[in-house]
Structure 1
Amino acid sequence: MDVTIYHNPACGTSRNTLALLRHAGIEPVVIDYLAHPPSVAELKTMIADAGLTVREAIREKGTPYAELGLADPDLSDEQLLEAMVKTPILINRPFVVTPMGTRLCRPSEAVLDILPADAFSSAFVKEDGEPVLDPQGKRLG
């Protein structure tokens, strides 16, 4: 299965998502989007494929969102996308692309929505100790 994750190794949610993919036996293409941001066209496609608006895909916390004036409702999607590509920390993370769909994996277990139901056969626990999969690999919660 061809899978791509737009990853930030400093982000716990991103690390948990990557760990879930690897737990499924998938070695995804890992793109450090801070060093190698997607193009405006790629970002626009990912956001649309994930069923989000551009504003829903912007990360405000821990970013220069406010300083850049991005809360201005008069800014167009194109202007916001340009800002996100120019300052990639503004891109919420992690985005995961699989043949089954695209998701902004917040929380990390959202990745399960775009993986085969039988991809797991054992338990999985997040870094913080929160269980995600039971001993048979079935989704909890």
Structure 2
Amino acid sequence: MDVTIYHNPACGTSRNTLALIRHAGIEPTVIEYLQDPPSRAALVELIAAAGLSVREAMRQNVPPYVERGLDDPALTDDALIEAMLREPILINRPFVVSPLGVRLCRPSELVLDLLPPITRPFSKEDGEVVIDADGRRVS
């Protein structure tokens, strides 16, 4: 299965999502989007395919969001996209693309909807159980 993750290794949610993909036996294409941001067309497609609004795809808890006045509800989607392209830290993460769809995987276990069934136990890096010893999804 061909899977791509737009990843930030400094983010626990992104690390857990990547670990779940690998736990499924898949070595995904990893795009560290802070160093290699998506093109405008790719970003617009990711957001649309995930069924999100542009604002839902933005990180609103980072300094550039308020510092740049991006909290202004009058801003257009185009203006928000341009801001994300200029400052990729504003792109929420991790986005995952698989043949089963596109998702913003927050929380990380949302990636399970994009992968083949996993029945082996899995816990997040903080110890939270995602798949229990009986192979059942916990959440």
**Shorter-normalised TM-score: what interval?**
over 0.9
More helix by share: 2
Query: Which consecutive residues of structure 2, in runs of 5 or more, have no partner in the other structure?
Result: none
Query: Which consecutive residues of structure 1, in runs of 5 or more, have no partner in the other structure?
Result: none
- AA aligned opposite 1:21: I
Match of 1:7 in 2: 7
- AA aligned opposite 2:51: G
Pairwise CA RMSD: 0.9
Q: Residue 5 of structure 1 contacts residue 31 of structure 1 at CA under 8 Å; is this kept in 2?
A: yes
Q: Secondary structure at the match of 1:46?
A: helix
Corresponding residue to 1:138 among 119, 136, 139: 136
In the TM superposition, what is the alpha-carbon distance from 1:113 to its structure 2 partner?
1.3
Q: Secondary structure at the match of 1:65?
A: helix
Which consecutive aligned stretches of 4+ in structure 1 deviate over 6 angstroms post-superposition?
none
1:22 aligns with 2:17: no
* 1:77-113 Cα deviation digits (max 9, x unpaired): 1110111011000000000000000000000001011
Name the CA distance, whole Å, in 1 between partners of 2:42 and 2:63.
Answer: 21
Name the CA distance, whole Å, in 1 between partners of 2:109 and 2:71.
Answer: 29
| Percent identity (aligned) | 67
Q: Residue 63 of structure 1 contacts residue 89 of structure 1 at CA under 8 Å; is this kept in 2?
A: no
Name the CA distance, whole Å, in 1 between partners of 2:125 and 2:63.
Answer: 24
Name the CA distance, whole Å, in 2 between partners of 1:63 and 1:11.
Answer: 16
In the TM superposition, what is the alpha-carbon distance from 1:138 to its structure 2 partner?
2.5
User: What are the residue-to-residue correspondences of 1:1-141 with 2, within 5 Å?
Assistant: 1-116=1-116, 118=117, 120-141=118-139
In the TM superposition, what is the alpha-carbon distance from 1:134 to its structure 2 partner?
1.4
